[in-house]
Amino acid sequence: MDFELLSIGLLLSIGAVFALRGMWSEGEGRSRWLAAGLWTVAFTAIAWAATDYGPRERALAPLTDQPIELNVDGYVSSRACEACHPREYGTWYDSYHRTMTQFASEEAIAAPWDGIEVQARGVDYKLEQDGDEFWVEMDDLSHRGGGPAPRVKRRVVQTTGSHESQFYWYASGDGRRLSLLLIYWRLLGEDRWGPLDGCCITPPDSGQESETGRWNRVCNRCHATHVSPRISDEDGDGFYDRWDTHAVELGIACEACHGPGGAHADNYRDPFKRYSAYSAEEGATDIVNPGKLDHERSSEACGQCHGILVFAGDEGRERWRESGFEYTPGESLHDSRDLVMEGDGQFWSDGMIRVSGREYNGLVRTPCFVNGEMSCLSCHGMHQAADDPRPREEWADDQLHPGMRGNLACTQCHKEFDDEAYLTAHSHHAPGSTGSNCYNCHMPYTTYGLLKGIRSHEISSPDVRASVETGRPNACNQCHLDKTMAWAAEGLEDWYGIDKPSLNKEQREVAASILWSLKGDAGQRALMAWSFGWESARLASGTEWSPPFLAALLSDPYHAVRYIAERSLKDLPAAKGLRYDYMMERSGRNAGMMQVLKNWGTKQGATNSRAAPELLIETDGVFNPHAMQQRINQLLSERVDPPLTLNE
């Protein structure tokens, strides 16, 4: 900032204020009052225009052992946007994009810290705060010698996440390279610590790793703005030994979507030019507004992070390691990176995306995008509208436009479905029911991430054949959890003329949710565990029959599956008095499972419920729990369970 100009501007403004006072007291005319006011504004604007948005470092000290923020390549950070765009800045500031990555501070860290002790996976962690610094005492993860690992203290310098969960990075002592703390904080009202390997779908025997260097190599691509990784193998031994990561801004900031703002800020320092542009409602040509791009380019601005992409060649990868991505919004994303549309751990076998945070991959396969003009911004807004009556916190959860949680998301284009009779004739469900919600049929929860089911962003129609061929739940059976695939196939053929696929005996006779829960892979089981707690499915299917299958998932080998099952089960009567933690030893988990089965079986036997073979409930006047457990064990023994990692 030019302090000389700023001082002059402030002095002139103060002088103008005194002049105003004199004019008012002397009864001068309104025109002179107005002129003096305009002079005040002008002088203040001159001082503001002198502000320097050049290169800077802005981070918590010391800066030697963590990534730093530095303005380069025409980027000037979000602070250059606030003065002229206060409302947009405010909505961004309150979003979870801003807090995706933050320097560790009292404001940023969501977990209780000072004096907290956490035990996870046999390791004791002691958390301490010293002024503005956050420390953790733990076993030395780098210890490779004999005997127990020594205790060490490491400074936590950075956070990732602030909505669902929060993760913590500590200084590794090797340049700006970061290591990941092996415990994380679970938010959303749950407020609990957990081991890192319990947060995702990862093979149970894969162990925990500190992911040293991962933020510098991978996470920063989407969790910070205009990053220069600055990592290299200086001595040629095949290992990176230079870690000097810079970013314009931690978190996803204004310029991640709008591109570098330096030229725009310089251009509009002239207050007369700025206000002239406002009054004329001119569109700026020196900054990118994704809302004014065509649907492909605007979606690519989102897709740079919300997509699975790889470098277009080794040269692109090498350039990125030094100076980051070359793409800026408004350009073609695909000139510098290739979109990946298949692969284990991220896609179903037919190419539909399977993991969260990769919605762009689904969008580009959607007919509404391919044949129409649907974009990410058709439903989502990066800034809350001025006339949106919702609390900011409600808007920030998914950043949807008003009404976009309902059928308006579809009827804004498919207007014929605004007519209730037309809609229900198509859906074959009562008006206002979950079955007449377009989302539930055409964007079902077949994506997994963040310990829950997430809606698919590849708009499609229910099809049992796809379930048979890929294992992906179809919308009918994910809502009607108590029904078989045969039931769903018959309905789809009767209502929409969709041919029934060939089904085996189990698919004809056993509810699809039970087959996916007991025989499916870890991702299918996680989706089913979540679906058993989904309110729409509970309304359609009831809950009185589901505890035995959730109980089976309480002893699942995958940590995340157990976590979700416990959450879906805990408000049901069968879980009354349950003492269970998803990371407890196997014997404790099995005891919890048996307790749920006992509670449920006692009630089931007392009510003499009707037989329901599709739910494995057999009766001969009296409920037979032994026969049911034998059938569950048989299906479990048939499970094909290859190691699975869902890379969220």
pLDDT in tens, 479-508: 999 999 999 999 999 999 999 999 999 999
**DSSP letters of 44-88?**
HHHHHHT---SS-B-SSSP-TTS-EEB--TT---GGGTTTT-HHH
**Per-residue confidence band for 30, with pLDDT thresholds at 50, 70 and 90:** very low
Residue 345 has a pLDDT of 84
Residue 17 has a pLDDT of 42
Higher pLDDT, 146 or 239: 239
Higher pLDDT, 52 or 558: 558
Residues 6+ apart with CB under 8 A from 636: 518, 519, 552
**% helix, strand, coil for the chain, step of 5:** 40, 15, 45
Which residues in 60-81 are b (16+ Cβ under 10 Å) and which e?
A: beebebbbbbbbbebbbbbbbb
Mean pLDDT over 547-552 rounds to: 97
Domain ranges in the chain are 1-52, 99-250, 256-378, 462-648
Backbone angles phi, psi at 69, to 5 degrees: -100, 130
Which residues in 253-283 are b (16+ Cβ under 10 Å) and which e?
A: bbbbbbbbbbebbeebbebeebeebeeeeee
pLDDT tens, 417-432? 999 999 999 999 999 9
Is the pLDDT at 173 greater than 70, yes or no?
yes
**Per-residue confidence band for 7, with pLDDT thresholds at 50, 70 and 90:** very low
Residue 343 has a pLDDT of 86
Where helices occur in 60-203 by DSSP H, the ranges are 86-93
Half-sphere exposure of residue 622: CA atoms within 13 angstroms, side-chain side: 3
pLDDT tens, 334-387? 999 999 999 878 999 999 999 999 999 999 999 999 999 999 999 999 999 999
Give the position of tokens 């009864």: 27
Strands (DSSP E) found in 161-199: 165-171, 178-180, 183-186, 192-195
**Per-residue confidence band for 309, with pLDDT thresholds at 50, 70 and 90:** very high
**Per-residue confidence band for 282, with pLDDT thresholds at 50, 70 and 90:** low
Whether the Cβ atoms of residue 188 and residue 451 lie closer than 8 Å to each other: no
**Per-residue confidence band for 208, with pLDDT thresholds at 50, 70 and 90:** confident
End-to-end CA distance of the chain: 42
Is the pLDDT at 517 greater than 80, yes or no?
yes
**Per-residue confidence band for 48, with pLDDT thresholds at 50, 70 and 90:** very low
Mean pLDDT over 609-617 rounds to: 88
Residue 313 has a pLDDT of 86
**CA-CA-CA-CA torsion sign (289, 290, 292, 294):** positive
Q: Which long-range contacts (CB under 8 A, 24 or more apart) does 535-539 make?
A: 536/434, 536/437, 536/440, 536/479, 537/478, 537/479, 537/480, 537/481, 539/434
Residue 506 has a pLDDT of 97
Higher pLDDT, 235 or 452: 452
**Per-residue confidence band for 55, with pLDDT thresholds at 50, 70 and 90:** very low
Is the pLDDT at 559 greater than 50, yes or no?
yes
Is the pLDDT at 295 greater than 70, yes or no?
yes
Residues 6+ apart with CB under 8 A from 547: 569, 572, 574, 575, 596, 597, 599, 600
Residue 36 has a pLDDT of 45
What pTM value is reported for the model? 0.90
| Pairing outcome for strands 151-160 and 165-171 | antiparallel
Here the tokens at position 540 are 């359609």
Mean pLDDT over 230-254 rounds to: 94
What single-letter amino acid sits at 551? A
Is the pLDDT at 15 greater than 60, yes or no?
no
Q: Which long-range contacts (CB under 8 A, 24 or more apart) does 166-175 make?
A: 166/109, 166/110, 166/111, 167/196, 168/104, 168/109, 168/111, 168/136, 169/215, 170/136, 171/65, 171/66, 172/65, 172/212, 172/213, 173/65, 174/212, 174/243, 175/65, 175/242, 175/243, 175/244
3-class secondary-structure state, position 556: coil
3-class secondary-structure state, position 271: helix
Residues 6+ apart with CB under 8 A from 126: 116, 117, 136, 137, 138
Beta bridge partners of 134: 129, 156
Q: Which of 365, 378, 294, 277 is nearest to 329 (CA)?
A: 294
Is the pLDDT at 20 greater than 70, yes or no?
no
Mean pLDDT over 625-636 rounds to: 94
Higher pLDDT, 272 or 413: 413
Whether the Cβ atoms of residue 152 and residue 137 lie closer than 8 Å to each other: yes
Share of the chain above pLDDT 90, in %: 78
3-class secondary-structure state, position 609: coil
pLDDT tens, 99-123? 999 999 999 999 999 999 999 988 9
What single-letter amino acid sits at 91? T
Residue 38 has a pLDDT of 46
Share of the chain above pLDDT 70, in %: 89
Mean pLDDT over 299-322 rounds to: 94
Residue 348 has a pLDDT of 97
What single-letter amino acid sits at 239? F
Residue 621 has a pLDDT of 67
Averaged pLDDT score across all residues of the chain? 90
Residue 277 has a pLDDT of 75
**DSSP letters of 376-420?**
GGGTB-SS--TT--S-HHHHHTT-BPTTTTTTHHHHTT-GGGGSH
> Which letter does DSSP use for residue 443 in this model?
S
Whether the Cβ atoms of residue 327 and residue 259 lie closer than 8 Å to each other: no
Is the pLDDT at 299 greater than 50, yes or no?
yes
Residue 607 has a pLDDT of 72
Whether the Cβ atoms of residue 256 and residue 226 lie closer than 8 Å to each other: yes
Is the pLDDT at 144 greater than 60, yes or no?
yes
Whether the Cβ atoms of residue 561 and residue 641 lie closer than 8 Å to each other: no
**CA-CA-CA-CA torsion sign (375, 376, 382, 388):** positive
